[in-house]
Amino acid sequence: MGSENNILRVNNLQTSFFIDGGHEIKAVDGVTFDVPEGKTLGIVGESGSGKSITALSILKLIDSPGKIKGGEINLKGENLVDKTEKAMRKIRGNTISMIFQEPMTSLNPTYTVGQQIRESYKIHQGLGKRESTEKVIEMLKLVGIPSPEKRINQYPFELSGGMRQRVMIAMALACNPELLIADEPTTALDVTIQAQILELIKELQDELGMSVIMITHDLGVVAETCDFVAVMYCGKVVEYAEVKTLFKNPRHPYTVGLLKSLPRSDIDQLELIPIKGTVPSPDNMPEGCSFAPRCPFATELCHDHLPDLLEIGDGEQIRCWIYTDDWDGDPEVKVYEP
């Protein structure tokens, strides 16, 4: 972490929502990670862990009652937190683009595919209708949509789910962004289409040289597409590592729980082993480590105090008392047991 080759560095990001007369719910609470140039960072965690809010915070798309309370979003040396809305409009879709979860709710049903993609060229490059239409056709070809000259005049409801997702990708990549945020880009797609979409994103990344943030709850997607992984739980990063390191030797009990919940033929573990308990409500977080109520290794220290995000290896970080001198549990405990 902290390399000069990072296109993005998120440092101690805090985003909260204020409801019921000012009651604060911390959706993103002190998140820190880097996105190296040309690489893919996977952000993984259960629903409600703060993955999507982190992405929306990077683009400053948090609406009231939400608010970015603190931290830095450093894009190529500039802190986006300090940018005005006017300045952010020049960045969104141009330097940073985002593929949203559900294309049917993200695409405007009253405009054709061509009209919606042309908007990016009009806003960011000042192109006229003829030039932008040519660009749209080129982009639709790039993302593998057949007969693009016909598709530009169709509405989203006239396309299949896989085609709509490809339109979303075309829209996100229209202005050759340096950073692409893909928020659950294969949600609600069948397995065959999922594989095609992920392969398409990888091919376009290699061709365009962009960096990618891949937000997902699917560890299989992370293993196939990512270089680095940030594991989130209850609005915090609990582990950050290179993808090979994380899958070979996960350290945080939550990460281990996620991996053990997957069937694995290599160690004859075909039975799913779920993480016991449930994610705590965001408006009633426990004291100390938020994972402590579900953790098989938790001690009184874990229930009472929140550990810092600690550097424990070459770029590897973890938020867990087990790896500190203050740990008051079994000194021989090994979190990962293959």
Q: How far from each other are the two terminal CA atoms of the chain, in whole angstroms?
A: 27
Phi, psi of 195 (to 5 degrees): -60, -40
Q: For residues 295 and 302, give the distance between their C-alpha atoms in angstroms, rounded to a whole number.
A: 9
Structure confidence at residue 22 (pLDDT) = 78
Q: For residues 76 and 97, give the distance between their C-alpha atoms in angstroms, rounded to a whole number.
A: 15
DSSP β-bridge partners for residue 233: 236
Average pLDDT, the chain: 88
Pick the CATH number of 6-95+177-323 from 2.40.50.320, 3.40.50.300, 3.40.366.10, 3.30.470.20: 3.40.50.300
Q: For residues 11 and 168, give the distance between their C-alpha atoms in angstroms, rounded to a whole number.
A: 29
Q: Is the pLDDT of residue 273 over 80?
A: no
Q: For residues 72 and 288, give the distance between their C-alpha atoms in angstroms, rounded to a whole number.
A: 24
DSSP-assigned letter for residue 44: E
Summarised one tens digit per residue, pLDDT across range 197-244 is 888 889 889 988 899 999 998 888 899 899 999 999 999 999 999 999
Written as one string, the DSSP assignment of 165-194 is HHHHHHHHHTT--SEEEEESTTTT--HHHH
pLDDT band of residue 155 (cuts 50, 70, 90) is very high
Better-predicted residue by pLDDT, 252 or 269: 252
Which whole number is the average pLDDT over 52-74? Answer: 94
Better-predicted residue by pLDDT, 202 or 331: 202
